[in-house]
A and B are shown apart, each in its own frame.
Chain A
C-alpha cells in the first residue's frame, strides 16, 4: 500500500535550519510529484513547494524563496525539505503529500506529519 513515512519531531532555535524527510513506498516513486504543506498550531494548510521526483526540478512558494530547498534521492525513494533561518513563526506540523500531475491540488496520499518547534 502507498505510504509516505516522515521523519520525527524536531526542536530548533531561531536562526537554525531543519531538514525533514519523506520516504515513499508502495508505488513508483518517480511517477509522482511530492509537495510540502505546513500547518501552524490552530491554523490552516499552507503550501510550501513541490518537487518532481523524477527530474528533481522544484517550485517554491514565494514567501519561502531563498530559505527552502527540496531534494530527492531516487535510490531510497526519499524526498527532503530543508528550511533555514527559522523563526518562531515556522513552528508547525510539516506534511509531505503526493500528486500525480503538477497543476492539480489533488493530494491523494499524505505523510503523517513532522512537528517542528522553534524555540529559544
Chain B
C-alpha cells in the first residue's frame, strides 16, 4: 500500500545539492504533516525531518523539508559520502487510517 510516490533513484556529486520529491493526495500529504526517514544500508530507518520542515536534534541543517499542496520535498545540500542511503517520505492517511510510506528513493553519490 504505497500511494506516496517517490522517484526510485537520485544522484549527485559530493558538494552538490539534490532534491527528492514525494507526491500524494488529499487524504494524506495535503491534509497531514510529512516526515522523512533516512535508511542507511543494513540499518533501521531514522527520522530525518518531521512536521514537513522540522529537524530532530542532531540532524545537520544540510537537510531541509518543505510541503506544498499534495507534494513534499526533501533537499540535501553539500552532499557527503555518508548521505548515500534510501530516503522515505511518510504521512498519515485518513482513508487508510494509518501511516503511508513512499516507495523510497535511493541516493547515490557519483
A-side residues, CB < 8 A to B, are 35, 37, 44-47, 49-50, 59, 61, 63, 95, 97, 103-108, 110-113
What A residues does B91 contact at CB under 8 A? 105
User: Could you tell me the distance in whole angstroms from the C-beta of A5 to the nearest C-beta in chain B?
Assistant: 12
Does A105 contact B45, Cβ atoms closer than 8 Å? no
Return A86 CB to nearest CB of chain B, in Å.
20
Contact of B88 with A107 in the complex, beta carbons under 8 Å: no
Q: Is the CB of A61 within 8 A of B45?
A: no
Q: Give the distance in Å from the alpha carbon of A113 to the alpha carbon of B99 in the complex.
A: 19
Q: Is the CB of B45 within 8 A of A106?
A: no
Contact B99 A47 (CB under 8 A): yes
Bin the interface of chain B by size.
20 to 34
Q: Is B50 within 8 A of A106, CB to CB?
A: yes
Is B47 at the interface (CB under 8 A from chain A)? yes
B97 engages A35 (CB within 8 Å): no
Whether B103 lies near A106 (C-beta < 8 A) is: no
CB-contact partner of B47 in A49, A108, A111, under 8 A: A108
Q: Known: A95-B44, A105-B90. Contact between A44 and B103, CB under 8 A? A: yes
- Which among A97, A106, A107 has the greatest number of chain B C-beta atoms within 10 A? A106
